[in-house]
């Protein structure tokens, strides 16, 4: 079996509560969770940032601190910054054309400004508009195209996050038109209310629509997390775990850290005859350019 790239999504943008008390909040905590996940076997860390209250944030300064801390460490961890923030739209009850409190919808430029400044190796790119739990996220073709072009202009590879078959269709049209360059890397996201379920049948169905030669990984949320690790490995894909996707180590037991979820996934990969890729191997598989030195060195 080929090497399996293991991504750890360390914090996400979910509501903070007693149940999420192990989810990192500050830039220092987020960076520390990334580094401990790397030591446990993750090659890539997928990063959101939060306000001190635990609320999701788009603050470039928070992203800069996280990235600087990781780059200043002795790890060669691959950094993957989210661009998913800034897409939520909640219509006001009295006028659905106006946003209600909680809406975050903003411009493509604002959604990718931290990527343009910090130049991570990868950033997520949500391809489709969809219901997402109780709300909707709006990713119009024009917005997604603008974001894809801006991040690729600074050398960052977009990870194409797809939640259903229609998203893959849009991604394929972007690839065919030249908006997405190089070998595409799809992240198949399963189990979100409004998207495809975290089942073997759904994963197999979505894989049939990927373009020939595409790289892919996948994950399930909540109880679907570990089963989807096994399914993806068996089907030759890469995997993702972490407290963004799943808060539990096992039924009724909160995971105390991201690292224990990474260790659990490594055990599954090993049991199925595979082995986790190192960061250097992940860069080679995905065709990433290598980063050296601090953020300031990269941006000058």
In order, the DSSP letters of 21-57 are TTS--SHHHHHHHHHHHHHHT-SEEEE-EE-TTS-EE
DSSP symbol at 95: -
Assigned domain for 282 exists:
yes
39 falls within a domain? yes
pLDDT of amino acid 15: 87
Confidence at residue 292, expressed as pLDDT on a 0 to 100 scale? 54
pLDDT tens per residue, range 43-92: 999 999 999 999 999 999 999 999 999 999 999 999 999 999 999 999 99
> What is the average per-residue pLDDT within 113-121?
98
pLDDT at 294 over 80: no
**259 has a pLDDT exceeding 80:** yes
Q: Is residue 289 included in any domain, yes or no?
A: yes
Q: What does the pLDDT average to over 20-29?
A: 96
Give the chain's domain count. 1
Tally of residues, the chain: 300
For residues 84-96, b (16+ Cβ closer than 10 Å) or e, as one string? bbbbbbbeeeeee
Domain span at residue 138? Answer: 6-299
pLDDT of residue 289: 78
Say which CATH number the domain at 103 has: 3.20.20.70
Say if 1 falls within a structural domain: no
Average pLDDT, the chain: 95
Structure tokens at 258: 């991201």
Contacts of 125 (CB under 8 A, 6+ apart): 83, 144, 147, 148, 151, 158, 159, 160, 161
Q: Is 149 in contact with 123 (CB distance < 8 Å)?
A: no
pLDDT above 50 for 143? yes
Nearest to 127 by CA among 84, 76, 68: 84
Q: Predicted confidence band at 291 (pLDDT cuts at 50, 70, 90)?
A: low
């Amino acid at each position: 079996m080929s090497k399996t790239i293991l991504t750890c999504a360390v914090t996400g943008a979910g509501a903070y509560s007693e149940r999420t008390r192990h989810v990192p909040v500050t830039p220092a905590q987020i960076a520390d969770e990334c580094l401990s996940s790397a030591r446990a076997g993750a090659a890539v860390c997928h990063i959101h940032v939060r306000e001190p209250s635990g609320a999701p944030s788009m603050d470039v300064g928070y992203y800069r601190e996280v990235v600087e801390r990781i780059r200043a460490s002795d790890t060669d961890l691959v950094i993957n910054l989210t661009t998913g923030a800034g897409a939520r739209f909640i219509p006001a009850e009295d006028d659905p054309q106006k946003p209600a409190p909680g809406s975050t919808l903003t411009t493509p430029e604002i959604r990718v400004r931290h990527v343009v400044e910090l130049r991570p190796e990868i950033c997520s790119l949500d391809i489709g508009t969809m219901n997402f739990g109780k709300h909707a996220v709006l990713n119009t073709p024009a917005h997604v195209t603008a974001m894809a072009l801006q991040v690729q202009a600074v050398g960052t590879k977009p990870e194409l996050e797809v939640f259903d078959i229609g998203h893959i269709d849009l991604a394929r049209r972007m690839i065919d038109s030249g908006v997405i360059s190089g070998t595409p890397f799809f992240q198949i996201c399963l189990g979100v209310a409004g998207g495809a379920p975290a089942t073997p049948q759904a994963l197999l169905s979505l894989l049939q629509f990927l373009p020939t030669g595409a790289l892919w990984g996948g994950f399930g949320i909540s109880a679907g997390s570990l089963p989807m690790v096994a399914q993806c490995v068996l089907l030759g894909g890469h995997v993702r775990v972490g407290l963004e996707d799943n808060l539990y180590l096992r039924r009724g037991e909160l995971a105390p850290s991201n690292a224990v979820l990474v260790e659990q996934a490594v055990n599954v990969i090993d049991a199925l005859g595979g082995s986790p890729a190192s960061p250097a191997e992940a860069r080679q598989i995905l065709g990433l350019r290598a980063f050296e030195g601090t953020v300031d060195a990269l941006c000058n």
